[in-house]
Structure 1
Amino acid sequence: MKAIKWLMTGVLALSLTACASYYPVAVDVQPTVDAQGGVYRGQAVSLSSQDKRKNDYIIQIEQNNKAPVVVGASNNIKVQMEQALAQGFSNQGAFIEQGSPTQIQLELEEVLARVIRGHISYDVVQQLRMKLVLKRDGRTITKQYRRSAQAEFPGRLHPELDKVKDAVNEQLSLMLKDMLNDRDVQQFIGAQ
């Protein structure tokens, strides 16, 4: 009887370990930039970023009667967004130059995709919030950006995290496009 008890305990522990290790610890975040040229005429800007998110994970998997499983980004999401934004400004004709009088700070406030288990599918609810703070000659403007999206993916046992990762990358890319196409930002930078 004792041997069966030990065997059942071992099987239970193994099955719990297998569930917890099914998901990766992190996924690769790669936002893309789609910016048209000819917006700026060689204006110089300095660019910095801060990560002010409450959590360092980007995906939270919620299943009935289980603790949520969280998945982070395998690369630094703040650096990825700053580099993509710099690339976008460069594509538009600006020069990225540290110490420039025109300073732009990107602040990440929320990047989260909640994966919610349904009966035969998963809902992916995304919330993104970021801010640009632009400063020059004592003037400051602050622009808030928000994106939210919801998608449903089929799956009975486990969500396909590649699809969730692609959805996150798409929303990050759309947010970059919102920032780069913002007329207030373009006028502030272009008025040097």
Structure 2
Amino acid sequence: MKKLVLAVSVALLAACASPKQEQIDFAPQATMSAAKIVEGKSFTLSSKDVRTAQYVALLDNGRSNITPVHSKQNVRVSLENLLTQQFSSQGYHVTVNSSNSLKLELQEALVSVRHSVMENDIDGNVTIELTAENAKGKLVKTYNGTAKRSGVMSASDEDIATVLNDTVSLVLKEIANDQELQDYMKERF
């Protein structure tokens, strides 16, 4: 019994001593419409995260040590909420039982960071696919965003979060201002 208690104690102490996994805040901004573009149109919003890994950043310090960084928030759920806000500001109602559907597929949301004590290079890539569909047809659009940032000293969590959030915010702005998507949804929904 003493050996079991000792083994459990050692395991717990080792777990407490191991470094915490880094996390950043995922807080992009929705692009809100100043005026409603539709009245009384609704759709069902669904989302899927098809990224191969759930981390949002990879830190490479150049010494064969690459560290993944995760988001404090669920990226898929956050994007779904942001799109709901955007489309609601345009006059759409997001419901659970509409014959119109909008599907969000998160294909990539990754910031690659190469840094040393003296400098850092940050590259962000975001890819989102939207599918607007109902009995009248289907429109599939892919939105890409990229960002690059360089600086002195090593990159901070805030630097990484800024690049990721700004890149996602730009993609959301592109979705909000996509005239083809707006026209399709106005005509068919």
What's the TM-score once normalised by structure 2's chain length?
0.84
Match of 2:174 in 1: 178
Deviations 1:102-131 (A, max 9, x none): 100000000000001257210001111110
Q: Which runs of 5+ in 2 are unaligned?
A: 1-16
Q: How many residues align?
A: 171
2:158 aligned to which of 153, 157, 162: 162
Match of 1:143 in 2: 141
Mapped to 2, the partners of 1:119 and 1:79 lie a distance apart of: 35
CA shift at 1:73, angstroms?
0.8
Match of 1:25 in 2: 22
Q: Which runs of 5+ in 1 are unaligned?
A: 1-17
Secondary structure of 1:57's counterpart equals coil
Cα RMSD between the aligned structures? 1.7
Matching of residues 111-126 of structure 1 within 5 Å: 111-117=109-115, 120-126=118-124
Mapped to 1, the partners of 2:21 and 2:158 lie a distance apart of: 11
Runs of 4+ in 1 over 3 A off after TM superposition: none
CA shift at 1:25, angstroms?
2.5
Contact 1:102 1:189 in 2 (8 A): no
Deviations 1:4-35 (A, max 9, x none): xxxxxxxxxxxxxx9x83x7522121111122
2:32 counterpart letter in structure 1: A
Mapped to 2, the partners of 1:119 and 1:25 lie a distance apart of: 18
Mapped to 1, the partners of 2:173 and 2:179 lie a distance apart of: 12
Percent identity between the two aligned chains: 23
